[in-house]
Amino acid sequence: MVKRNDFTLNTIVGPGTSVVGDIESAGFTRVDGSVQGDVHAQGKVIVGEDARLKSNISGTAVTIGGVVYGTVIASERIIILGTGLVLGDIITRRIRADEGCLIHGKVVVCQSDEQWEKLIVEYKDKLLVQSALAGFSSKHG
């Protein structure tokens, strides 16, 4: 695996901007507006102080200064600033939670590659089941 320091900004959701739908980014992503849909970045993700997301977020490193309602996964680290609020589970290898932040959910910090891989597989399986159940209930409700 080649590690590179790519600071190219690929995606910005600016203040006052609302996105309904998933965001797939090949690199660095910054959100300062609102997003209702998942955010998957192959690089870093920054959630600004005024951002509001109803999203599952995944990236290499995630920094949260705003509000996130959903699961946050980072293969390297997660930083939750003092202004950050996470209503959902966190899965990462390292975490820093600043004084004043709020986390309401399960926090799992993986110590080994094996544990990381196992948790990611379990999370993806859980998403598949939830998706199937959502489709079932809408068709048969």
pLDDT at residue 1, rounded to an integer: 38
pLDDT at residue 10, rounded to an integer: 84
CA–CA separation, 89 vs 32, rounded Å? Answer: 21
Which pairs from 106-111 meet CB under 8 Å and 24+ separation?
Answer: none
Q: Per the structure, how many domains does the chain have?
A: 2
Pick 9 or 116 by higher pLDDT: 116
Range of the domain at 70: 9-109
pLDDT at residue 3, rounded to an integer: 46
pLDDT tens profile 70-101: 999 999 999 999 999 999 999 999 999 999 99
Cross-strand partners of 44: none
Q: The whole model's pTM is what?
A: 0.85
Residues 88 and 130 occupy one common structural domain? no
Number of continuous H segments (helices) and E segments (strands) in the chain: 1, 16
Residues 136 and 70 occupy one common structural domain? no
Residues 95 and 122 occupy one common structural domain? no
Residues 72 and 16 occupy one common structural domain? yes
Residues 85 and 128 occupy one common structural domain? no
Residues 98 and 48 occupy one common structural domain? yes
Among the residue ranges 6-20, 31-45, 109-123, the one predicted with the least confidence is: 6-20
Position 3 in a domain: no
Dig out the tokens for 111 from the structure: 């110590």
Position 90 in a domain: yes
CA–CA separation, 60 vs 13, rounded Å? Answer: 18
Cross-strand partners of 50: none
pLDDT at residue 139, rounded to an integer: 54
- Report the amino acid identity of residue 37: G
Residues 18 and 86 occupy one common structural domain? yes
- For residue 107, the surrounding DSSP H or E stretch is strand 107-109
CA–CA separation, 126 vs 79, rounded Å? Answer: 25
Average pLDDT over residues 64-74: 97
